[in-house]
Amino acid sequence: MNWTLALPELVLSVCGLAILVFGVIPKRDMTFPCTMAVIGAFVLTGVLVIGQAEGTAFGGQYVADDFSAFMKLLSLAAAALGLLLALDWNAKEGLSRFEFPVLVLFATVGMMVMISANDLMSLYLGLELLSLPLYVLAAFDRDNPRSAEAGLKYFILGSLASGMLLYGASLIYGFAGTTNFDRLADALSAEAGISAGVVVGIVFVIAALAFKLAAVPFHMWTPDVYEGAPTPVTAFFASAPKVAALALLVRVLSGPFGEVIGQWQQVVVLSAILSMVLGAFAAIGQRNVKRLMAYSSIGHVGFILMGLAVGGETGLRGVLVYTAIYIAMNIGAFAVLVAMRRNGRAVEGVDDLAGLGRTDPAMALAMAIFMFSMAGVPPMAGFFAKIYVLLPAIEQGFWGMAVIGVLSSVVSAYYYLRIVKVMYFDAAATGFDLRPAGVSVVLAGTGLFTLFFFLFPAMLLDAARHAVAALIG
């Protein structure tokens, strides 16, 4: 058993336990030291991931390769940025508790286990290790009825998704005789063909992972949970867990179920189309920025699923590039949301951004960059993200899906550009409170990446190409 391959997860888990003890013992507030310690643990884990050897461990249940390294680094970066956003917010909202960064840390451990899962059992272990801290984080503002409602809804629907995953895994095991991805691939490629029970099991597994991605028709929890959860938690929900669920979906569908693509491809195509359409039209009437971003994320998931449905090297490379760019521009947009405080009170309405171009030009410029990028306006990073999933779809003959993607992008441009219009052309409202340093760092980093991605795309494209090559050979 080559347990040293799992050193990043083991080190991060040990760091989490140590930070938990460190936070409990002193009598004073340990939120800031614990948050910095967790971010330091993320950096250390990232270094270990970069230096990680390739291979399998724990009887084939754990796999380490370039694909897992790419997705783990994305998850760690998203989690660290989410913690930076939470630092000042939690203090001002009276939520300054050391348990917050510890919960984020253990959720990140779950994400890393999911990304390296090579067996249906390790898949479920990682999913539950991710989900349990997320339920608590959604309801972290326990005195706020909206937050408590968000946590309860997420818990009930998340439990349903976990049950679906277990049921699907049991069907696959019952009809294929194994839960290991490598042996499943051999079993499904045999001449005997694939049984109906395995197909049903695959559909249940896809449905459970689609819930974590907030893909239609498993999106119903997203607007309410995004609106009710504390804003930094929403930023975390909208980025890091999606990376883990997407990594697992890509690994499952391109690996053990790659031989039966005809059985699941149309399911993914349908989900992609419905997600893009719903994300485009449902957000038009939203006046709360967090709900608008919830529907926006559903639309972006549709584009990501487009690349997954196409498959192959170019399609999967588009998935990874889109995911990386989405993480940057999404967390950047939520950084603006975290900074939306007026007289010490958080505000979330689209109209609250009125006149931001005059009261805070730097933040308005950053928000405009993120909105243009999400709309797919060149030369922002979001334009290239959409190009890298649309071109493979067109090349492989998925014309209908590609046309719907372009049209939904045009429709969604309305509500993205409306925010820009409100910031620069509406009468100025009262300015926001002084922006925290952590939020400014996140805004600057993600804004520069989104704006200047077109100057240095090769680094991300090469990393994505190596990751896909490790996955499909």
Interval 194-209: pLDDT, tens: 778 888 888 888 888 8
Label residue 367 by pLDDT band (50, 70, 90): very high
Q: What residues are paired with 349 via a beta bridge?
A: 288
Distance CA 227, CA 402 (A): 31
In this predicted structure, the answer to whether residue 451 has a pLDDT above a threshold of 80 is yes
Contacts of 345 (CB under 8 A, 6+ apart): none
Report whether pLDDT(70) > 80.
yes
Q: Are 109 and 277 in contact (CB under 8 A)?
A: no
The residues spanned by each domain of the chain are 260-473
Give the residue, 222 or 41, on which the prediction is more confident. Answer: 41
Angle, vertex CA 140, rays to CA 135 and CA 145, nearest 5? 100
Beta pairing class for 62-64 and 341-342: unpaired
Contact 151, 135 (CB under 8 A): yes
pLDDT surpassing 70 at residue 463: yes
Q: Give the residue, 238 or 190, on which the prediction is more confident.
A: 238
Residue 459 neighbours by CB under 8 Å, 6+ apart: none
Confidence band, pLDDT 50/70/90 cuts, at residue 190 = low
**pLDDT of 107 higher than 70:** yes
- What is the per-residue pLDDT across 228-247, written as a single tens digit (0 to 9) for each? 888 889 899 888 888 898 99
Measured CA to CA in angstroms, residue 248 lies from 113, 118, 172, 422, 445 at distances of: 10, 9, 16, 39, 28
| Residues contacting 338, CB < 8 A, separation 6+ | 85, 88, 89, 231, 232, 235, 436, 439
- Compute the mean pLDDT over every residue in the chain, rounded to the nearest whole number: 88
Tell me what the mean pLDDT of segment 401-417 comes to: 93
The answer to whether 118 and 56 have CB atoms below 8 angstroms apart is: yes
pLDDT in tens, 285-298: 888 889 999 999 99
